[in-house]
Amino acid sequence: MKIVFLDAATLGGDADLSPISGLGELILYNETHKDQVVDRSMGADVLIVNKIVINERILKPLSPTLKLICVSATGTNNIDHNAADRYGVAVRNAKDYSTESVAQVTFASLLSLINHIPIFDSAVKSGAYSRSPHFSFHQVSFGELKGQTFGIIGMGNIGRRVAQIAKVFGCHIYYYSTSVTNHCKEYEALTLQQLLATCDIISIHAPLNDRTKNLLTLNELTLMKRSAILINMGRGGIVNEADLAQALNNGVLAGAVVDVYEREPVRDDHPLLHLKEPNKIVTTPHIGWASRQARKSLIEKIAENISQELL
């Protein structure tokens, strides 16, 4: 069995791919340009891709041998599912591998923002604290999560885990279901407008689809408390990024945490990189999913998908 991984570098250089290589001949490419996809994939039984687009143009010449596309992620919006069905190619994703990783980065970033950790760290390392006549440092102040209202957009496995952790901190939990099905009975469901107006912290853990594209524009952001914080750990494109920058610059909301972007990697001129007050935001490079343990689990799930479909 010939297995071709077209963008293996997306899993990091330390990834152990032996669970997959043990299933057949594994051919690795760190990156693949769209014009190279067909040539590199000819004769493959299995294609593994993360972000590479697989459409009708690519599937047609590969269809004589290609049996399975494994997406090394949960979202499969880069695959033309209708074309795959026509050519009899199965598409499998990896689910529930990153729940703990995303939840951990969510709170690591949030706590860094609200506790002003970069500012306090700089105060010590720059010598400002050494020059202070006081034993503590009060140039900025921070509050506690306890008693805050914590809203979650997208109450899937990750959203539920974030809710559990927020509850341990003493937060009051509400959620909005992007599928319009209030399936979680453990917490109170609100409309999107109610959630935005009610919550001190709003954390997004939803997929990008027709219902969530541009879900939060400036119109929605203005419904939030001016003291509120917005977290996007879902997908770029759910929040209009130019509008978010405008909201932060104009004091419409107090802060934001962003791990995902509409275009990745971001350009140097991205509006979130040029805020009037950079300390209002904590940005991470789409890394929430990528703990060592999560990537190990992802690789194992890809191997499991191959085994179940073809062996």
Residues with active-site annotation: 235, 264, 286
Q: How does DSSP classify residue 95?
A: -
Tokens of 48: 């593994």
Query: How far apart are the C-alpha atoms of 297 and 301, rounded to whole Å?
Result: 6
> Do residues 10 and 51 lie in contact, with contact meaning Cβ atoms separated by under 8 Å?
yes
Q: Which amino acid is at 114?
A: I
Pairing of strands 188-189, 172-176: parallel
What is the spatial distance between Cα 221 and Cα 217, in angstroms, rounded to a whole number? 6
Strand residue runs (E) in the chain: 2-5, 25-28, 46-49, 68-71, 90-92, 149-153, 172-176, 188-189, 201-204, 229-232, 255-258, 281-283
